[in-house]
C-alpha cells in the first residue's frame, strides 16, 4: 500500500503537506522524533512547511494511529513511528529512547484492571544510566 492509500485508509485527505510527511515517516524505519526534528527533515528534503501544519499533521497522524506519542516528562513532545506495542529503554540524562520489542519482555503477573475499565495497552519503561 502506498502512502496516498495509507492516508486515505486513515480517513485523511492526501494533501501535498501530508504526503511530504508520510514519505518521511512511513518508510518502515522506526524512529523517535520531535516536531522540530521533523521540520528539519522536511527542510533537508528540499521542502518547507509551517510549524503549525507540522503540529496539525502530527496530531492527525497520531489520532489515526499512523504514529504514536511517547509518554515522556520532557517538555517537548516525542513521537514514534513504531506503532506496534513495544517498550523502551530511557537514558534520563540525555532523553535517548531505545526500542524494546514486545517479545523481549514477559509480564508474568499483572494487576486486575479497575472496575469499569478495559486494558488499552501495556508499556514498560526501563530507565538506564551510563556506567561510571
Partner DNA sequence: TTTTTACTTTAAAATCGTTCTAAACTACTT
Partner DNA sequence: AAGTAGTTTAGAACGATTTTAAAGTAAAAA
Residue ranges that bind DNA, judged by CB under 7 A: 8, 12-18, 34-36, 49-53, 55-57, 59-60, 75-77
> Rounded to whole angstroms, how far apart are CA atoms 60 and 70?
15
- Could you say whether residue 110 binds its own copies (CB under 8 A)? yes
- Could you say whether residue 80 binds Zn ion (CB under 5 A)? yes
- The candidate with the shortest Cα–Cα distance to 83, out of 68, 104, 105, is 68
- The candidate with the shortest Cα–Cα distance to 67, out of 17, 27, 109, is 27
For the window 31-70, what string marks contact with its own copies as x by the rule CB under 8 A?
--------------------------------------xx
Stretch that binds Mn ion, among 26-34, 59-67, 71-79, 101-109 (CB under 5 A): 71-79
Q: Is 44 helix (H, G, I), strand (E, B) or coil?
A: helix
CB–CB of 106/120 below 8 Å?
Answer: no
- The candidate with the shortest Cα–Cα distance to 100, out of 73, 79, 72, 124, is 124
- Could you say whether residue 82 binds Zn ion (CB under 5 A)? yes
- Applying CB under 8 A, which residues contact its own copies? 69-73, 75, 77-78, 87, 89-92, 98, 100, 104-111, 113-114, 116-131
Amino acid at each position: 500500500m502506498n502512502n496516498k492509500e495509507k492516508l486515505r485508509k486513515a480517513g485523511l485527505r492526501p494533501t501535498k503537506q501530508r504526503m511530504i510527511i508520510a514519505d518521511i515517516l512511513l518508510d518502515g524505519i522506526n524512529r523517535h522524533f520531535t516536531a522540530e526534528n521533523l521540520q528539519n527533515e522536511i527542510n533537508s528534503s528540499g521542502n518547507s512547511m509551517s510549524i503549525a501544519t507540522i503540529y496539525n499533521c502530527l496530531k492527525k497522524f497520531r489520532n489515526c494511529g499512523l504514529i504514536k506519542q511517547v509518554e515522556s516528562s520532557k517538555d517537548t513532545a516525542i513521537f514514534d513511528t513504531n506503532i506496534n506495542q513495544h517498550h523502551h529503554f530511557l537514558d534520563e540524562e540525555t532523553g535517548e529512547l531505545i526500542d524494546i520489542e514486545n517479545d523481549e519482555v514477559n509480564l508474568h503477573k499483572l494487576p486486575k484492571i479497575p472496575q469499569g475499565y478495559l486494558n488499552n495497552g501495556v508499556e514498560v519503561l526501563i530507565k538506564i544510566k551510563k556506567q561510571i
